[in-house]
Amino acid sequence: MNALLQTHQLQLALPAHTATNTLDWSIQRGECWGILGPNGAGKTTLLHCLAGLRPPRQGELLLQGQPLQRLSVRQRALQLGLLFQQQQDEFPATVLETALIGRHPHLSLWQNESPTDLALAQQALQRLDLLPLAERRIQTLSGGERQRLALATLLTQDPQLLLLDEPTNHLDLHHQISVLELIQSEVQQGKAAVMALHDLNLAARYCSHLLLLYPDGQACWGEKDIMLHLPALETLYQQPLLLFQAEGQSIFIPRSTNG
């Protein structure tokens, strides 16, 4: 069976990535990957590279067995969707209009959005508790609402592989959980997700697999239970950690560094 996305001898084009090892990684349907790493390690670059938005220094990406470079941007957008860390909102627009642009790759040049597309956008807004705000202007949203709207746009796009750059940014506790459960339910329907996360506990709870990315470009990846290895995580973040178990979950707490 073909992996949804596969990397062959991939190296990111980052000056700090001096390690010579390469990434030969494959993402299967039904897997939810977390990318863990300190600031500046290249998590965002890796996600952009997987989405085909940035060329790698070397290596190849295969989307369902086909080289990503040979697919048109529209074909890629039907399979791969990316939640950006920041949204650019220079022009006024409403919440519903913003969700609806997710349908763009599904429509041909002369096609307009159909009632079905509109219904999909509204459904996505509903799933993120944004439907009451549908007619609001995006400039009036709070940071957390804007982040959920970006997720709703991604759900409207309905890609097979969801690439998410810090999906819990700006979200309150309740929405952190509901958004990650939403992603989990998408994955259970046969899609896959790769997300950059900073919260070890959320990663431990919602990811099935983890990839640890070090600042020099070294990486190791595998199933969650193997990867949640305390010394490895302490080395990754240069931060001593405490590990607790509660209700069958691993809970990581950073220790104070002042002695």
**Integer CA distances (angstroms), 194 to 57, 96, 110, 183, 256, in order:** 21, 26, 33, 10, 30
**Across the chain, how many H-helices and E-strands are there?**
9, 12
Angle, CA of 123, 152 and 54, to the nearest 5°: 145
Q: How far is the CB of 22 from other proteins (least distance, A)?
A: 25
3 state SS of 10: strand
The residue from 136, 137, 170, 229 that contacts other proteins (CB under 8 A) is 137
Q: Is 84 in the site for other proteins (CB under 8 A)?
A: yes
And the tokens for 245?
């178990």
Residue 62: partners with Cβ closer than 8 Å, 6 or more residues away: 2, 3, 5, 6, 7, 8, 68
Q: How far is the CB of 77 from other proteins (least distance, A)?
A: 3
And the tokens for 240?
């001593």
Residue closer to other proteins, measured from CB, 192 or 227: 192
Q: Is 157 in the site for other proteins (CB under 8 A)?
A: yes
- Residue count, binding to other proteins (CB under 8 A): 39
- Compute the half-sphere exposure of residue 175: CA atoms within 13 Å on the CB side of its CA: 18
The residue from 139, 185, 188, 239 that contacts other proteins (CB under 8 A) is 139
Q: Is 40 in the site for other proteins (CB under 8 A)?
A: no
The pattern of x and - marking residues 87 through 126 that bind other proteins according to CB under 8 A reads xxxxxxxx--xx-xxx-xx-x-xx-xx----x--------
In the range 47-76, which residues lie near other proteins by CB under 8 A?
Answer: 48, 51, 53, 72-76
Q: Which residues bind other proteins (CB under 8 A)?
A: 48, 51, 53, 72-78, 80-82, 84, 87-94, 97-98, 100-102, 104-105, 107, 109-110, 112-113, 118, 137, 139-140, 157
